Structures are given as structure tokens and as C-alpha cells.
Amino acid sequence: MGDIHIRIEGRAGRITLNRPKALNALSYEMCLAIDAALKSWAGDDRVALVLIDAEGEKAFCAGGDIAEMYDTGTRGDFTYGRRFWADEYRMNARLAEYSKPVVAFLQGFVMGGGVGVGCHASHRVVGETSQIAMPECGIGLVPDVGGSWILARAPGALGAYLGMTGARMGPGDAIRAGFADLYLPQAGWEEAKAALVSSGDVSVLTGGARPEAALATSAEVIDRAFGAATPADVVAALEADGSDFAQGALKSLRRNAPLSVACAHAMLRNLGREARIRDALAQEYRFTFRSMEHADFIEGIRAAIIDKDRSPRWRHARLEDVTAAEVGALLAPLGEEELSFEEDSQ
């Protein structure tokens, strides 16, 4: 079966991530395999819908497999990482724009690259263990794989809060923020999958009452602080707020890479609510294309994954030290290197 199991069952094209011991971390080869399957099934009358799931209880997919990016990047070779991101982003766009229903079952951790596979489906199912997040600012990146597109359309300033802090969402918050659609207790998932495979009809999906969206109780604080015009203003608003929630959010901001947090703030404001996913992916690629050479990605991976000392030495001591010019340089158009979508997504 390998790291990914792709097949046709009944009326469904099925994609199952199969690296449970690695929390189903998404490799470059897995990205290419998903994209190839989607292309193949777009015109295949046997396939009425696509069903994406994953083996294991802990995670649907906890992120991208970034070890090779680190190894090549530390040697000054940025080509591999740029190719991985470009092909992954094209796959993300294909999923979001797909002409047939795509159903994803999102158990456990769904982070980073897992959001790119699962949260662009047309029907996104969460259960009691689902924990969804975009934690990229903690490793010197920005919310990518089209995640910035979802964040930009979240209610109020919730997207800025989630993207800048990397906070995790349970199932209720994931639905409210636009990362999921349907809550279904996980004891009923296999029955639901069998019905989808048999019928090829997404109308067989029925869910239960949505769990509480815990972050909704802090919406006023989130909107006031994270709706601020600049990252420095966000910090000032949180510092002025004496609530435990605000102080926790401030602690998260201080822990993440200042340059990444500032860029994430700018990216969401650039996108707004009317952007297309391709707009988001193109902007994300401008940052990730430069991230190994001009941002904190290499250092973030060293601290989190390689040395595991959890003590990254960021380029800036504080978020307030990042200049608008630095943000603008990282998000500037890439000219001939701009992300392209050579083929129309199906």
C-alpha cells in the first residue's frame, strides 16, 4: 500500500493517507500522487465523488514532511523546497476547484499540509478528536497550502488570530472558522464512508449538532486586537487587555517568528474576503519561495525538528521590530518565478 493508497471503490475515488506512525505527514511523492489521481478521475464516469481519509487515530495529517527541505536548504539548495511548494499548491488549487464532490474525514491533528489536503474538500467532516491549526509561524513560515484563503474569510478577525498565533481549533471552532462543514461522531464514520462508496451521493452525509465553538466567547477581544491595522497595534491591544485570553494570545505571538507573524498579518489584509484560492496560493508562494534564504524557516526547523531545543534565534527580537519594508520585500511579486497554474484545475 505504501504511504498513500489510491483506488476506485464503488462510485468513489478513494485516497487514504497511510503513514500513521509519522502522523501521516505529507511527502512530495504523496502530493504528486494525489494530484495525478484527481486529474485521472476528473473525466472518469465511474467516479462520482472523491473520498479522502487517513489511517490511524492520532492524525489525518499533521503537516508536510519537511526534513528534505531542511537538508537541501542548509546546503544552499532552495530548488527542492520551491518545487515541492509549487506542486503542492497546484494540488491544493485542484482540490478546491474540483468539478466533483470531495469528502474528507478529518480526525485528530489536521495541520499545515493536512489542511491543504483536507480542508479544501467540498464536504469536510470533523469528529470529537479533530484538532485543526495553521501553526506555520512557529517554524518561520506563514499559513500556506491555501490556508490563508480560508483564514481571510473567517468571521471578524478570527483568521488573523488563528494565523498569527497558530491556535488549535476543536470541531466547533473549525466549522465556525470555515475549515470544516459537518460534525459527525467518529463511531459513525465507517458507515458514512460505506454509504458514500455505495451511492456516490453526498446527500447521504448527515451530521449531529455542532459542538460549542469555544473561541466565539472571545470574539470581542479577537476582533478588537487582531483587527488592528499593524502587527504593533495588535501587540498594543493585547497588552492593554488584561484578560487571560489576551495574555495567552500575546504569549503565542511572542513565541512565533516575528517576521512570519508580520507577513501573515499583511497577507490576510491583502487578500480580503473576495479573493480566489489562486490569489492566496500565489501570495503564499512569494513568501515560501524566499523563506529559506530571507526568512526564518531554516532556523525554525532546526529548533523544532532537528535539535529540538525549542529555542529558535529569530531574525527579530520582537514583532514590533519588523518593518513594513521587510514584509513588502518578502511578499513582492516574483516576476518570472511567480507561481503558475499551467493547467486549468478540474
The pLDDT value recorded for residue 346 is 43
The pLDDT value recorded for residue 343 is 56
**Residue in 13, 113, 127, 159 annotated catalytic:** 113
Sequence length of the chain is 346
d(CA 193, CA 191): 5
Residue linked to cell 494530484: 35
Residue 212 within any structural domain of the chain: yes
Cβ neighbors of 121 (< 8 A, separation 6 or more) are: 50, 52, 95, 102, 103, 104
Indicate if 172 belongs to the active site: no
Side-chain-side CA neighbours of 315 within 13 Å: the count stands at: 20
d(CA 134, CA 254): 16
**Cα–chain center distance at 50:** 20
d(CA 304, CA 153): 30
d(CA 311, CA 162): 22
Helix (H, G, I), strand (E, B) or coil at 6: strand
- Render each residue's pLDDT in the chain as its tens digit; 346 residues: 699 999 999 999 999 999 999 999 999 999 999 999 999 999 999 999 999 999 999 999 999 888 889 999 999 999 999 999 999 999 999 999 999 999 999 999 999 999 999 999 999 999 999 999 999 999 999 999 999 999 999 999 999 999 999 999 999 999 999 999 999 999 999 999 999 999 999 999 998 888 999 999 999 999 999 999 999 999 999 999 989 999 999 999 999 999 999 999 999 999 988 899 999 999 999 999 999 999 999 999 999 989 999 999 999 999 999 999 999 999 999 999 999 997 544 4
d(CA 243, CA 158): 17
**Residue in 144, 284, 296, 326 annotated catalytic:** 144
Residue 303 within any structural domain of the chain: yes
HEC string of 275-295? CCHHHHHHHHHHHHHHHHHHC
d(CA 226, CA 218): 12
Residue linked to cell 465523488: 49
Note the pTM of the prediction, 2 decimals. Answer: 0.96
**Residue in 13, 64, 140, 200 annotated catalytic:** 64
Residue 342 within any structural domain of the chain: no
Question: Residue 199: which domain range?
Answer: 4-333
CATH of the domain at 103: 3.90.226.10
Indicate if 296 belongs to the active site: no
Residue 340 within any structural domain of the chain: no
Residue 324 within any structural domain of the chain: yes
Number of domains observed in the structure of the chain: 1
Residue 197 within any structural domain of the chain: yes
In contact, 108 and 59? CB cutoff 8 Å: yes
Indicate if 112 belongs to the active site: no
Indicate if 272 belongs to the active site: no
Helix (H, G, I), strand (E, B) or coil at 99: coil
The pLDDT value recorded for residue 345 is 41
Residue 339 within any structural domain of the chain: no
263: closest CA among 335, 339, 315?
A: 315
**Residue in 65, 88, 136, 296 annotated catalytic:** 136
Residue 305 within any structural domain of the chain: yes
